[in-house]
Chain A
Amino acid sequence: MSNQPNCENCPVHHKSNLVRLGIDMDKVDYVVALAGNPNTGKSTVFNNLTGLRQHTGNWPGKTVGRAEGAFSYENDRYKIVDLPGTYSLLSTSTDEEVARNFILFGRPDVTVIVADATRLERNLNLVLQILEITDRAILCLNLMDEAKRNHVEIDVRALSRELGIPVIPTSARKREGMPELVAMISDVASGKYVCKPHRQRNHTPQLRHAIGTLAKKLTDQYPGLPNADWVALRLIEGDQSIVEALQNGILEDLVENTTPMAV
């Protein structure tokens, strides 16, 4: 009956919808951050989405500063920011600060966390830290081909349930899983998929109380501050860059910038 092949009608068929825009970043609708441990293939994912050719190489710390590019998908334009790879957001090397400040102050619409499927446990440390900061994240479980080669199996659905965010298995070097990733970025950005990210639960009662007290003080002062608990925890830990953000009024800007968006 239909003279179109079935693939074309299926909603999973996204090939024609993705338009790589390179560095043409005018009038973007959404901002996507690309975070993750070093050497997990962030730049390869970035190149796949934007059509750019950021240099990729098998050594950690190769992306310096941050690279930006764009793509469009189903009439929406996305700017994508490739952050330097970090193992954590806790200590303060320049790389970690660049990554954290962008996720915290840049308020990306979606944060795609690229993780190495063959070393999931260590990668999860960073994933959990990012989930403390942002609500809208996707785990891009990359290097699935390597995982298969090394006989590592991952229960993707259980992982997604545990983390409370979508998990997309990919092999970016072979472009596998990229259409699914793009579709999910669009779903999370537009609010079609609502994340309920995992938050740390096993704090001691004293710590939980301390966080609660300070967070209340913070929200009294800055109504609408996103992730007040996290800011409170950082302040208790004496994180110097957050203290400075508070003193310089950057934290305030954060509230002001987000309120109109919420309305």
Chain B
Amino acid sequence: MKEQQKKNTEEILEMANHLKWDLGMGIHDKIVSSLYADAAQIARKTVSMDGDKPAFSLERKVDKVVTSRLLGFPIMFILLAVVFWVTISGANYPSGLLASLLVDTLHPILKNAADGVMPWWLSGVLVDGAYLAMAWVISVMLPPMAIFFPLFTLLEDLGYLPRVAFNMDSLFRKAGAHGKQALTMSMGFGCNAAGVIAARVIDSPRERLIAIITNNFSLCNGRWPTQILIATIFIGGMVSPFWAGIVSTGAVVGIAVLGIAFSLVVSWGLSKSVLKGEASTFSLELPPYRPPRIWQTLYTSLIDRTLFVLWRAVVFAIPAGIVIWLVSNITIDGVSLAEYFIDWSNPFAVVFGLNGVILLAYIIAIPANEIVIPTILMLTVLVTGMSGIGEGSGVMFELDSITSTEQILRAGGWTLLTGINLMLFSLLHNPCSTTIYTIYKETKSVKWTVVATLLPIVLGFMVCFFTAQLWYLFT
């Protein structure tokens, strides 16, 4: 019976093959064109256009401008800058408000209540560690995300993203990567984990891996606050107050563009070495511009993106907060673990224009990039032994004014070089643990997960080393 079936199958296939040869070459094309002819005929019978289609021609004109060789990229950067500027300036006030509520008001109340019922170390771990980490992440992350995600979703709804992909396509193709990587890269500006998942739109496994590995070069939402704060203090501080805002926004956009450049260069390097291959072609439709539905966009981007990402950050920040409290409060011979590490790693870090505090902060903050700055400030206060600022050892805090943040950092021996290198290092370091986990889930490969984790941090140390040596050469 089985044999018989197999024989029949072979017969059918042979017959099909035979017929194919009889019909000659180009049969596929003939079938497709007759299909298209049918479609055209039906469309002709049923569709009528009224007048000379004013909306279409306007759309075409807009497309000519936003995807033009000359203006395409400048428009992209300006839009990017406007989105950041709105995010930066709009997030400041609600962030301060949330901080004063969650940190200044609620924290002492909780602390007093906890001290009454539990031993000092437990209330330290829970209230000064876990609660404060969570409170900081919410007040630092929620406002910028609540502004950035809806703005980004509006651009997406409007139909601008495919134009970005269109502009970037030839660059990515030259780098041996897939043009759709421009889309996943844009998603990465919101959240790298989301960008890694979005890489599913790329069919070829080779190009998908490239997109996943390089996604970390898109500055994610958790890293924007670091960039903005450091740019304001060290780069905006170099020029007159009038220019400070523009110069520091420029510096942040510059870092973002540098990230895009790294994304392209690393894609090129990968596709010429371990992930060799040609870029596959794909068709990208420029969809019509559609008026975005403002309220629906606000709702869905708040519920689906903002709260989702925030929840993830909170979940990861709580254990990190506990660790920070512990390393600052567990002491050997009167010196805390944190101080041991900082003193030990400082000589090494200085070679890269960084310092031990930054390294420790990045290790502690692996779960969530957003807690880097609070951790750095807390650790700096701890080692410089400043008094009267902050809330005591192991308590994460962020200062109300940028000026007092600057005082702390300068007292910790920070220079313009430290600032620049922190910005560079913030761009080029390992992905956060959520992203690492997502990469593993998407690639199902330990090897590629390790590559995606270590590659950026190695690059980061190289770039920081280079700028530091240049700096030492000229100063």
Contact = CB atoms under 8 A, between A and B. Distances in A.
A153 interface: yes
A232 B161 CA distance: 41
Interface string B34-52: 1111111011011111110
B300 A159 contact: no
B34 A118 contact: no
Given A162-B45, A163-B42, A217 B15 contact: yes
B16 to A, nearest CB: 4
Interface stretch (B4-12, B70-78, B315-323, B353-361): B4-12
Given A153-B47, A210-B23, A221-B12, A58 B157 contact: yes
B28 interface: yes
B49 A151 contact: yes
Interface stretch (B255-263, B282-290, B424-432): B282-290
Contacts of B17: 238
A213 B42 contact: no
B201 interface: yes
A104 interface: no
Contacts of B275: none
B203 A64 contact: no
A124 B42 CA distance: 8
Contacts of A153: 47-50
B201 A200 contact: no
B46 A154 contact: yes
Contacts of A106: none
A21 interface: no
Say what secondary structure dominates the interface of chain B: helix
A176 to B, nearest CB: 14
Contact of B16 (A90, A202, A235): A235
A219 to B, nearest CB: 11
Given A90-B32, A149-B55, A57 B20 contact: no
A146 B300 contact: no
B185 to A, nearest CB: 13
A214 B19 contact: yes
B45 A158 contact: yes
A204 interface: yes
B200 A207 contact: no
A122 B266 CA distance: 38
A63 B5 CA distance: 39
A210 B17 CA distance: 11
Interface string B53-66: 11110000000000
A237 B20 contact: yes
A29 interface: no
Contacts of A60: 162, 284-285, 287
B27 A236 contact: yes
Interface residues of B, number: 61
Interface in A46-65: 53, 55-62, 64-65
Contact of A243 (B13, B30, B47, B200): B13
B167 to A, nearest CB: 14
Contacts of B69: none
B162 A59 contact: yes
Contacts of A233: 31
A90 B36 CA distance: 13
A210 B22 contact: yes
B162 A214 contact: no
A28 interface: no
B183 interface: yes
Given A152-B49, A207-B23, A59 B183 contact: yes
B13 A246 contact: yes
Interface string A124-153: 110111000000000000000010011111
Contacts of B173: none
Contact of B12 (A128, A206, A217): A217
Contact of A206 (B9, B23, B50, B203): B23
A214 B38 contact: no
B447 interface: no
A152 B47 CA distance: 7
Given A39-B285, A238-B16, 8 more contacts: A57-B153, A151-B50, A153-B47, A154-B48, A162-B45, A207-B27, A214-B19, A236-B19
Interface of A: 38-39, 53, 55-62, 64-65, 87, 90, 93-95, 118, 120-122, 124-125, 127-129, 146, 149-156, 158-159, 162-163, 173, 198, 200-204, 206-207, 210, 213-214, 217-218, 221, 232-233, 235-238, 243, 246-247, 249, 252
Interface of B: 5, 8-9, 11-13, 15-17, 19-20, 22-23, 27-28, 30-32, 34-40, 42-43, 45-51, 53-56, 153, 156-159, 161-162, 165, 180, 183, 200-201, 203, 283-285, 287-288, 290, 293, 300, 303-304
14 contacts: A59-B183, A59-B287, A60-B162, A87-B283, A151-B50, A151-B53, A152-B50, A153-B49, A159-B42, A173-B293, A214-B12, A217-B12, A235-B13, A249-B5
